[in-house]
Structure 1
Amino acid sequence: MRIDIITPEIYERGGFPDEAFRRLRREAPVHWHEDPDEGSPGFWAVTKYDDVVHVSRHPELFSSYARTSMFEEFTDEDIALYRLMMLFMDPPQHTRQRSYVNKGFTPRMIKQLEEHIRDVSHQLIDDVVERGEACFVRDISAPFPLYVICELIGAPVEDRGRIFDWSNALIGFDDPDYATSAEHARDVSAQILAYAHDLAAYRREHPGDDIATKLLQPDADGRVLGADEFAMFILLLIMAGNETTRNGASGGMLAFFEHPDQWRRLRANRALLRTTADEIVRWVSPVNLFRRTAMSDTELRGQPIKAGDKVVVFYPSANRDEDVFADPYTFDIGRDPNPHIGFGGGGPHYCLGTHLARLELTVLFEVLLERMPDIGQAGEARRLRSNFINGIKELPVRFTPSGRRS
């Protein structure tokens, strides 16, 4: 079967390769896919929901540590550095570090951020509401999670700009608009790590009511997060905590434009906000894929997989699996239950920021309903050229001008 679901330009032109995903789920759910880049290894493309969950929940068979979780092939030197990041660990190392950082991301801790998230939403809308037009990405969805992250880690407000630039460099190295490269992304990673070390030093001297301060304090057993562990966690937070919400918000807004009946439905019944965020995450699937490495000979859906093989799971395909979701190609903000895996397929790497992302999306769309009820698309949406992040770079919008909050 000749099929391509990995070339970044495919995602830039039209979002997911839905027809290819549908064919793979039907004909070859565990499919050997050649890499279009010469010299790079091929991989097993896993596209069915149950198989993505199986891979996610068996790290002893499918490792994040061996060659990282990223699709790209890194040098051994880069891999050694990235292994300090929780995303690229396997149990029991991952279990120990995750249990340590969990204390900053409990539902109770996240709930305390709700009013700050609401204030950030109003602040961003205040900046554009009198104009009657904006770029939803540049003006609202991109800065929105950055403002929250700065609050979360106790970073100064004036650092938002460079954190935004760092994030673009890390996820946009396949996109010419960001004029970056894999080498530049490595340089940016080093800048973030240096920044995190400075932040840690400052928070040790000046503790605050933020997650960074909590993570730097000893746990119940007296264990302290190491300097490099803390720095790598901040790097992960800037990448994952920013991009998921940014692209969930942008993709969710575009989904409402493409399905205006759902916007009218939400305007008429705000109780649907309870289920809207999860349907946005299912529909958008902000992260397209993660990679694992087979640790021993095994099989998946009867397909033999050899030790050392590259195995790649595709979340948007799993989130449209006809065997799991009724009418999977319908954007339904009232979908309940909604067992999507937009936050990961379970197992040790289930998204640490799930509660935060749900809260951010719920509050943002609640405020948009209040302040910009007639928001509409004013131009073409431009997508990110990336096979990793399902991102939107530009989304022009218009709305009836109104006044700032008093």
Structure 2
Amino acid sequence: MADGASTIRDEARARAWSTPLEDFHPGDPDLFRTDTHWPYFERLRKEAPVHWCRDSEFGAYWSVTRYDDIMAVDTNHQTFSSEAALGGITIRDARADLRRPSFIAMDPPKHDVQRKTVSPIVAPANLARMEPIIRERAGRILDELPIGETFDWVDRVSIELTTQMLATLFDFPFEERRKLTHWSDIATTLPGPGGLVATEEERQAELMECLAYFTGLWNERVNQPPAGDLISMMAHGEATRNMTPDEYLGNVILLIVGGNDTTRNSISGGVLALNQNPAEYEKLRADPSIIPNMVPEIIRWQTPLAHMRRTALADVELGGQTIRKGDKVVMWYVSGNRDEAAIPDPESFSIDRERPRQHLSFGFGIHRCVGNRLAELQLKIVWEEILKRFRNVEVVGEPRRVRSSFVKGYETLPVRITA
């Protein structure tokens, strides 16, 4: 199995270095499904750090692949827009009739006031209150795992822990929490044969069910005194209480995906990374106090969202290229996090790395991930609780990866815990 994977990677490397640059389409979802995107970005960083893909299933787009250039785009919202009306924040343009605004797909000033409405949920005092809840749940989930038999870590641990947390943040009916996982997957899936949905119409029908459910919750909360959950915050917030249904759904999807996909794929990615780097796993067992330093290294290594996209509001020079007004610009965080010019020895997974927070996984500028500290807290706790219980969580097969160049994650990860 491992030999098969390394053959696939060798073939991908040969293709990446022999394909003419003008034929590059680094956003091809199949490269991410097969984990063979790495050599394409390595070559782009070296030879064409700001690269024009003239044609793809997502249309034409610029790829920005070096750390410093990504920072330049991410911190310049005056020139590079996130507006849903211009296409939004992913390589895939939302259909013109389905462009739902949410605060991540907005520019200031509207972005600022909507973000401010929900940000108290991850304020330090609130995180301190959540910590014992997360720890108790992580412990319970881990205590229920089978010993000595193969099971799927993604389903039993990564999804379960993050979905329980999400249900708490929304004050969502706990017994129905897997609906949140489902809607998160639907929101980010690429429709097509063998996928979660066959067509865009099917995807939209599922999202309308999500809106109907959350509208019921909104109507409950708006008639109750303000409370500390996300729906109540939006229902009573001055900047959000008059949102259109489309805008409400846009923000709900943003909060579900932001609170679920990223943390869940980092929990799975951490187990895989430690198995691929057994010396680091030994280092961790010998000294669990490394965990707070390891957590941001896992998040860099995994890069749970491979990219964010912007639209140019004016002609602009970047990396010796002229980006035209209206062009789609894709910031490849997954590439910037492996940029040797910015991060020492970026290809090594090093849990005691000197500056582990020097990564792009949470974005930068006004759209920096609002829940980054909560994500880190969940990862920290889950690893503390794993080490209290198990000497080894062993990966016993190849993971099945998500077919997406946006969400960089895992559908399954077969593991075994040794007694």
Measure the CA separation in 2 of the matches of 1:58 and 1:186.
32
Structure 2 match to 1:159: 176
State the 4+ residue runs in structure 1 displaced beyond 6 angstroms: none
Structure 1 match to 2:136: 119
Measure the CA separation in 1 of the matches of 2:339 and 2:221.
46
Q: For the Cα contact (< 8 Å) 2:114–2:239, is it kept in 1? A: no
Structure 1 match to 2:88: 68
Distance apart, 1:30 and its partner CA? 0.4
Report the AA paired with residue 38 of structure 2: D
Q: Does residue 27 in structure 1 map to residue 44 in structure 2?
A: no
SS of residue matched to 1:292: strand
Q: For the Cα contact (< 8 Å) 1:378–1:397, is it kept in 2? A: yes
SS of residue matched to 1:327: coil
Distance apart, 1:35 and its partner CA? 3.0
- Superposed counterparts of 1:237-256, under 5 Å: 237-256=255-274
Distance apart, 1:174 and its partner CA? 5.1
Structure 2 match to 1:100: 117
Measure the CA separation in 2 of the matches of 1:103 and 1:340.
24
Measure the CA separation in 1 of the matches of 2:312 and 2:261.
28
How many residues of Structure 1 are paired with residues of Structure 2 in the alignment?
Answer: 391
Q: For the Cα contact (< 8 Å) 1:256–1:263, is it kept in 2? A: yes
SS of residue matched to 1:325: coil
SS of residue matched to 1:94: helix
Give deviations 1:60-101, integer Å, cap 9, x for gaps.
11111122112112222212xx12x11110111111211222
Distance apart, 1:390 and its partner CA? 0.8
- Superposed counterparts of 1:167-316, under 5 Å: 167-173=184-190, 176-206=194-224, 208-218=227-237, 225-228=241-244, 229-316=247-334
Percent of paired sites with the same residue: 33
TM-score, normalising length: structure 2: 0.88
Unaligned runs of 5+ in 2: 1-20
Q: For the Cα contact (< 8 Å) 2:266–2:302, is it kept in 1? A: yes
Q: 2:390 aligns with which of 354, 364, 372?
A: 372
SS of residue matched to 1:119: helix
SS of residue matched to 2:366: coil
Distance apart, 1:177 and its partner CA? 4.8
Report the AA paired with residue 378 of structure 2: E
Give deviations 1:197-246, integer Å, cap 9, x for gaps.
2112222345555343344345xxx6663354554322211112100011
Distance apart, 1:364 and its partner CA? 1.0
Measure the CA separation in 2 of the matches of 1:182 and 1:43.
22
Report the AA paired with residue 6 of structure 1: G
Measure the CA separation in 2 of the matches of 1:370 and 1:178.
37
SS of residue matched to 1:142: helix
Measure the CA separation in 1 of the matches of 2:220 and 2:297.
40
Measure the CA separation in 2 of the matches of 1:213 and 1:131.
44
Q: For the Cα contact (< 8 Å) 1:193–1:232, is it kept in 2? A: no
Measure the CA separation in 2 of the matches of 1:381 and 1:231.
32
Change (3 A) 1:123 1:35: farther
Give deviations 1:263-304, integer Å, cap 9, x for gaps.
111111111111111001100100011211110111112211
Measure the CA separation in 2 of the matches of 1:75 and 1:231.
16
TM-score, normalising length: structure 1: 0.91
Distance apart, 1:380 and its partner CA? 1.9
Q: For the Cα contact (< 8 Å) 1:104–1:215, is it kept in 2? A: no
Distance apart, 1:31 and its partner CA? 0.6
Distance apart, 1:159 and its partner CA? 1.5
- Superposed counterparts of 1:29-48, under 5 Å: 29-37=49-57, 40-48=58-66
Q: For the Cα contact (< 8 Å) 1:174–1:385, is it kept in 2? A: no
Unaligned runs of 5+ in 1: 402-406
Q: Which moved more, 1:384-393 or 1:69-78?
A: 69-78
Measure the CA separation in 1 of the matches of 2:198 and 2:143.
32
SS of residue matched to 1:178: coil
Give deviations 1:141-175, integer Å, cap 9, x for gaps.
11211100101111111121222222222223357
Report the AA paired with residue 24 of structure 2: I
Q: 2:98 aligns with which of 78, 84, 88?
A: 78
- Higher RCO structure, 1 or 2 (CA under 8 Å, sep 6+): 1
Measure the CA separation in 2 of the matches of 1:76 and 1:92.
23
Distance apart, 1:250 and its partner CA? 1.0
Q: For the Cα contact (< 8 Å) 1:163–1:238, is it kept in 2? A: yes
Measure the CA separation in 2 of the matches of 1:334 and 1:201.
48
Structure 2 match to 1:142: 159
